[in-house]
Amino acid sequence: AQSVTQLDSHVSVSEGTPVLLRCNYSSSYSPSLFWYVQHPNKGLQLLLKYTSAATLVKGINGFEAEFKKSETSFHLTKPSAHMSDAAEYFCVVSENTDKLIFGTGTRLQVFP
Amino acid sequence: SAVISQKPSRDICQRGTSLTIQCQVDSQVTMMFWYRQQPGQSLTLIATANQGSEATYESGFVIDKFPISRPNLTFSTLTVSNMSPEDSSIYLCSVGRTGVQETQYFGPGTRLLVL
């Protein structure tokens, strides 16, 4: 069965420093992987997705993620955090079906 | 992407009553989904709604509690029936297009508080 584990429930960074949000997945097949962001009192926005093309995926707002099959990881990174990046981030896995499995989320705080 | 709207955006309801949530998309889509996000929790899929067929419910969710309609390719409703405080959640609809690599786009959500 497919699953996804977000290793940190909270991450705090200073503005201008790098961001790393960690995600590990479990899947029997070649999965599709996504990162979604949820700002307070707003809906979910797709940041980026991996679907068996390039292993380094670039998304919106300067975020990117690297698919590492050997480590079953899909960590989200950004070189320099901005105050507007403060939000909840969800790692999501899908196995060639329409069903998305969400991780438990990581709350990112950005301090000035 | 798709522009998705939900009504109502929020509501406060009394236990034992029912609430119908509407989801409208600006273009025709094959797949529509309903999710629940309980306070402080992640998203859980309630059901998949395809036009012209019965909704498919996930384990732990039943049609009597969460009846769904999908009358056309741009609209769906989810009803939360006989509500209890445990139904207080954010309910989100999402849409996807078969063959577009499972990407789903989400509506803004409906915040429900049951007293």
Contact between chains at B108 and A43 (C-beta distance less than 8 A): yes
Contact between chains at A97 and B102 (C-beta distance less than 8 A): yes
- Rounded Cα–Cα distance for residues A11 and B96 (Å): 31
**pLDDT at position A1, please?**
72
Whether residue A17 contacts residue A110, with contact meaning beta carbons closer than 8 Å, is answered with: no
Residue B100 confidence (pLDDT) above 70: no
Amino acid at A14: S
Is residue A88 very low, low, confident or very high in pLDDT (cuts 50, 70, 90)?
very high
- Say which of A43, A96, A97 has its CB closest to residue B107: A43
**What ranges in A2-93 are assigned the alpha helix state H?**
none
**pLDDT at position A58, please?**
94
Provide the domain limits for residue A98.
3-111
**pLDDT at position B99, please?**
55
- Over residues A70-81, mean pLDDT: 96
Q: Alpha-carbon dihedral of residues B91, A87, B105, B31, nearest 10 degrees?
A: -40
Domain of residue A93, CATH code: 2.60.40.10
- Over residues B93-114, mean pLDDT: 82
Whether residue B88 contacts residue B114, with contact meaning beta carbons closer than 8 Å, is answered with: yes
- Say which of B44, B103, B108 has its CB closest to residue A46: B103
Report B:31-90 residues touching A (Cβ under 8 A): 31, 33, 41-45, 48
Average pLDDT over chain B, rounded to an integer: 91
- Say which of B96, B98, B101 has its CB closest to residue A51: B101
Q: Which residues pair with B90 in a beta bridge?
A: B37, B111
Is residue A17 very low, low, confident or very high in pLDDT (cuts 50, 70, 90)?
very high
- How many domains does chain A fold into? 1
**pLDDT at position B50, please?**
83
Tokens 């529509």, located at residue: B32
**Residue B89 C-alpha, separation from nearest chain A C-alpha, in angstroms:** 13
Best of B7, B102, B110 to substitute, by most chain A Cβ atoms within 10 angstroms, is B102
Confirm or reject contact between A43 and chain B (CB < 8 A).
Answer: yes
- Over residues B78-84, mean pLDDT: 97
Q: Report the residue count for chain A.
A: 112
**Residue B110 C-alpha, separation from nearest chain A C-alpha, in angstroms:** 10
- Rounded Cα–Cα distance for residues B51 and B93 (Å): 15
**pLDDT at position A29, please?**
75
The percent of residues in chain B predicted with pLDDT above 90, rounded, is 76
Is residue A96 very low, low, confident or very high in pLDDT (cuts 50, 70, 90)?
low
In the three-class reduction of DSSP (H, G, I as helix; E, B as strand; rest coil), residue A3 is classed as strand
Residue A41 confidence (pLDDT) above 80: no
**pLDDT at position B23, please?**
96
**pLDDT at position A97, please?**
66
Indicate the domain borders of chain B.
4-98
In the three-class reduction of DSSP (H, G, I as helix; E, B as strand; rest coil), residue B10 is classed as strand
Contact between chains at A44 and B33 (C-beta distance less than 8 A): no
User: In this predicted model, what pLDDT tens digit does every residue of B52-70 receive, in sequence order?
Assistant: 788 999 999 999 999 999 9
| CATH number of the B4-98 domain | 2.60.40.10
Residue A17 half-sphere exposure toward CB, CA atoms < 13 A: 11
